[in-house]
Chain A
């Protein structure tokens, strides 16, 4: 990552603030394997921390939203910011993580949000000591979070199906190649 930014600079290309942040935050590694392993582990750690941020925020909102709401906004801002930065930094390296599969229609997303929001509010009212009654802003926020979670889950499921089809096609192609070799 660091070498890419430096080489861009050497070739006269403009370095954005994203490149500078990546260059400053990159760890110095001894060789390509360490770099590859560190990249994989860092990616998994980032993903885990983002999920924990969302989950912890949701849990705190359920426990006592009036008390913890400011902290939860910070949690979610950090998680969303980290995701946005990751996408910006990877896109600078010509890697685009946007899915090519349209997972769900807008109608489906809205419907899922309403269902989740309804269940969420109903559950919230059952929690003893809760003071979160009829806050439309919080309900809308919960629906928005639900939309993201729901879309990610569906996208993952469809990607896995797509991958399984590709793998099956690849295995058949390999078998055909081997028969030609024989």
Chain B
């Protein structure tokens, strides 16, 4: 398991981006990465560096803990469980 893998961990980037009314391409341009990297971060396939995470949070107006912390993952898991049931 390398640093590029986030081991399928969920995060709140997608939700925060939609709330901020941004497309993946717009967010990618704002933080100076490719759109594929944003896709990978949202899907939990890539763990961003602390600097990229800070840039994403800065652009989305939130904190790293809110997007990538344990509470964010638990919140998303609960929402997905509700949607399934």
Interface residues of A (CB under 8 A from B): 30-34, 36-37, 40
**Tier of interface size on chain B:** 10 to 19
Cβ–Cβ contact A32 & B49, under 8 A: yes
Interface residue B3 (Cβ < 8 Å from any Cβ of A): yes
User: In the bound complex, do residue A31 and residue B40 qualify as a contact, i.e. CB atoms below 8 Å apart?
Assistant: no
A144 shortest CB reach to chain B, Å: 33
Q: 7 A-B pairs, CB-CB below 8 angstroms?
A: A30-B34, A31-B32, A32-B37, A33-B36, A33-B40, A36-B2, A40-B4
Q: Is B25 an interface residue (CB 8 A)?
A: no
Interface of B: prevailing SS? loop
Question: Cβ of B34 and Cβ of A32 under 8 Å apart?
Answer: no
Tell whether, in the assembled complex, residue B34 and residue A31 are in contact, meaning their CB atoms are under 8 Å apart. yes
> What residues of chain B lie closer than 8 Å to A36, measured between beta carbons?
2-4, 46
For residue B46, which residues in chain A have a CB less than 8 angstroms away from its CB?
33, 36
> Is B52's CB within 8 Å of the partner chain A?
yes
Contacts of A34 in B (CB 8 A): 34, 37
